[in-house]
């Protein structure tokens, strides 16, 4: 799984109904919207989406299409510069994903938007096709926005889009790119003096000789009757958030202006908060590894179904069929537990409640046992792979390598057999659930039978393939018999129940 973040900016910050329509378009795909920031003064919304890159391209494309249908730039007014209904779409690599992958996503999305929606697309950041478009302010700025682009796009080669037509419709143009994580950070000032705000912004931004990696603009905030220094921190590791805040604060105070508040727009990496903690509490040895939730989230990420499916669908040999069979069996056992739970205490099922409690308990235990079998199967294969990589230069090394391989092959056989054995035992509970369990959940029992029987057969395929490589004849004969017996037993149990499935 290639995990990425995408932070599309839409030119609408007042109408929640419109933004919800855009979010609903994103949610048609298996990605997660984790944050939505709407700003009325800027008339702009920043949405943070995370997920697999391929799904992300489809989701963001649909959102751009929806935004083009409901946002008309000819009637849009706001403090923030903008080119289009969907103004900027950056892809950001996460959890080891390569930046080159995000570049490929940006270009793929850009081509689709240009060709299928007829919206001009400008590539920026790491995805820029021409050097002078690498920096976002070089494409769009407070002095060059939708209105100026209307004429320039067809007359000035500098503003010829990378994809799409050389003309603008009411949806404007979209800027799509790839970059590292950026922090949108604002500091509000207790003053309506826009001239001072713009001076402070100029002193702060890198392009005017200020702080490295900082972009800054000064705005009026009509709702609060204040001004704002709106900033993008393009490399928070080199120029930390507290450093930027203190710089703006000093510049404001030197003009007799007090800071009202600061604001993080969208999401922020945990490491950035670590720097704030270190700066203000002077705790130089602090590490994000000391944060409890971070450790727990690492465990959740590793164990998530989405993470598992990403691993399973990759080109790595493990996890494979044996591990997947265990997961399918765990789902079958979970359904057995569910149906038993739906029967306990229900009117008309009082006589079987005690038996159902026993089934529920046994099935719950089997769920986690089978879940762990999925991990054991992957580890057994990994151990076998390590044995295959052992040196074989000398006769002694060859002998040791062969011994290890045979030992690991036996382990890789025993694990899926154990999976099948645990799974098949769950079928013993199915007849009573069909006959006396909650009738409204009968379909779930049949699903459980199908899952469990398929898991047994899948596990035995892994037993079979390993037996063909094992030299210990006694072990092979023993497991061939065990395998055949378990397959026959499972078939007998399941077929007697499934033959009534469609009656």
Would you name the residues annotated as active-site residues? 80
Q: Tokens representing 348?
A: 């008309």
First-to-last C-alpha distance (Å) of the chain: 42
Using an 8 Å Cβ cutoff, are 427 and 490 in contact?
yes
Element (H, E) at 62: helix 53-70
Identify any residues that bridge with 35 across adjacent strands, giving them in sequence order: 48
What count of residues does the chain have? 503
Q: Tokens representing 68?
A: 């083009």
Element (H, E) at 175: strand 174-178
Give the 3-state secondary structure of 436-457.
Answer: HCCHHHHHHHHHHHHHHHHHHH
Identify any residues that bridge with 229 across adjacent strands, giving them in sequence order: 187, 218
Residue matched to tokens 């922090």:
183
Residues 6 or more apart whose Cβ sits within 8 Å of residue 87: 9, 10, 11, 44, 140, 172, 174, 175
Sign of the C-alpha dihedral computed for residues 343, 346, 349 and 353 taken in this order:
positive
| DSSP annotation of 132 | G
Name the pairing type of β-strands 214-221 and 9-10. unpaired
């Amino acid at each position: 799984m290639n995990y990425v973040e995408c932070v599309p900016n839409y030119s609408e910050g007042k109408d929640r109904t419109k933004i919800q329509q855009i979010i609903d378009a994103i949610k048609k795909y298996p990605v997660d919207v984790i944050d939505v920031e709407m700003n009325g003064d800027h008339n702009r919304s920043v949405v943070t989406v995370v997920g697999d890159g391929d799904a992300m391209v489809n989701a963001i494309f649909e959102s751009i299409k929806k935004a083009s249908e409901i946002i008309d730039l000819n009637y849009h007014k706001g403090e923030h510069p903008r080119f289009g209904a969907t103004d900027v779409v950056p892809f950001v690599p996460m959890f080891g994903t390569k930046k080159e992958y995000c570049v490929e996503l940006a270009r793929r999305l850009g081509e689709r938007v240009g060709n299928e929606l007829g919206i001009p697309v400008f590539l920026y950041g790491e995805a820029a096709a021409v050097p002078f478009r690498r920096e976002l302010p070089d494409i769009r700025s407070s002095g060059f926005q939708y209105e100026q682009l209307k004429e320039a796009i067809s007359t000035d080669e500098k503003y010829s889009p990378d994809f799409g037509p050389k003309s603008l419709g009411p949806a404007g143009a979209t800027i799509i790119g790839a970059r590292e994580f950026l922090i949108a950070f604002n500091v509000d000032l207790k003053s309506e003096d826009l001239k001072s705000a713009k001076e402070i912004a100029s002193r702060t931004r890198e392009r005017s000789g200020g702080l490295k990696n900082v972009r800054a603009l000064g705005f009026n905030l009509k709702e609060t009757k204040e001004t704002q220094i709106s900033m993008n921190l393009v490399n928070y590791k080199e120029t930390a958030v507290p450093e930027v805040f203190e710089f703006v604060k000093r510049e404001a105070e030197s003009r007799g202006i007090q800071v009202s508040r600061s604001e993080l727009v969208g999401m922020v990496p945990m490491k950035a908060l670590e720097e704030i903690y270190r700066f203000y509490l002077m705790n130089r040895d602090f590490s994000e590894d000391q944060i409890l939730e971070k450790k727990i989230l690492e465990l959740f990420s590793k164990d998530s179904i989405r993470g598992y499916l990403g691993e399973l669908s990759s080109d790595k040999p493990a996890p494979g069929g044996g591990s997947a069979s265990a997961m399918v069996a765990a789902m079958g056992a979970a359904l057995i537990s569910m149906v038993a739970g739906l029967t306990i205490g229900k009117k008309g099922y009082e006589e079987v409640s005690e038996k159902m409690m026993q089934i529920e308990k046994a099935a719950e235990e089997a769920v986690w046992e089978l879940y762990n079998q999925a991990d054991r199967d992957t580890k057994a294969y990994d151990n076998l792979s390590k044995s295959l990589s052992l040196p074989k230069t000398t006769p002694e090394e060859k002998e040791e390598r062969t011994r290890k391989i045979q030992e690991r092959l036996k382990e890789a056989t025993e694990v899926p057999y154990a999976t099948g054995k645990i799974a098949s035992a769950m079928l013993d509970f199915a007849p009573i659930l069909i006959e006396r369990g909650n009738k409204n959940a009968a379909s779930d029992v049949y699903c459980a039978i199908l899952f469990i029987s398929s898991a047994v057969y899948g596990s035995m395929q892994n037993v079979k393939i390993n037996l063909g490589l094992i030299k210990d004849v006694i072990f092979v004969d023993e497991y061939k018999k065990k395998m055949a017996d378990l397959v026959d037993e499972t078939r007998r149990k399941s077929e007697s129940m499934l033959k009534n499935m469609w009656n």
